[in-house]
Homo-oligomer: A and B are copies of this chain.
């Protein structure tokens, strides 16, 4: 069960919400790891060698076995270290947790991306409408303090992109999608989640992200 820094490496990127998913899971499990920061748009040879297919982070390297894709890594961590489970043990509840984790990437963020990187007014409207519908579904799904119940689970971890990144990105792009008045339960959840001691210490500085997304916004506007 024990691991040391030599056994576990995480190739990451400070600004990536997908990397922090893995870090939250590792910290929740109490697993030590060596973190290797990669540069956006310029991945190291080592990282490319470990993830030649997607050429992106996060990449978890555990005793030279390398795994990519954040949701796949989260399941690997949960199956390898049993303490502080992030997935329910009941197969049906597990299926629901997988469904909603996937939903955050496939529906919420897919729609939000459309609203941020729109090419015409119609696409912007569609993006806003689809994000609103998706966020409402998540709002309805939230029944306890966290999606995982009283403790953080895989859906909460996947939704870090929503809790911390989305408010910053929408500020940088000037498109409001996630607000406390429209989604009060989800907003309260995001506050609880961002203030969870393990999450809080991992979140990158707000200003760093804001600068990054402002830059992205300016390049997007310039390319239109």
Interface residues of A (CB under 8 A from B): 53, 62, 65, 67-69, 72-73, 75-76, 79-80, 91-92, 94-96, 98-99, 102-103, 107, 137
Bound-state CA distance A94–B72 (Å) is: 9
Residues of B contacting A91 with CB < 8 Å? Answer: 76, 79-80
Residues of B contacting A72 with CB < 8 Å? Answer: 95, 98-99, 102
Give the copy number. Answer: 2
Bound-state CA distance A102–B98 (Å) is: 13
Bound-state CA distance A67–B96 (Å) is: 8
Complex contact B95–A53 (CB within 8 A) = no
Bound-state CA distance A162–B80 (Å) is: 32
Complex contact B69–A102 (CB within 8 A) = yes
Residues of B contacting A103 with CB < 8 Å? Answer: 53
Q: A69-B102, A137-B53 are known contacts. Are A95 and B107 too (CB-CB below 8 A)?
A: no
Nearest first, the 9 A-B pairs at minimum CB distance are A79-B91, A76-B95, A80-B91, A72-B98, A67-B95, A65-B92, A72-B95, A72-B99, A76-B91
Complex contact A99–B69 (CB within 8 A) = yes
Residues of B contacting A62 with CB < 8 Å? Answer: 92
Output the residue of A95, A102, A137 with the most chain B CB within 10 A. A95
Residues of B contacting A80 with CB < 8 Å? Answer: 91
Residues of B contacting A67 with CB < 8 Å? Answer: 92, 95-96, 99
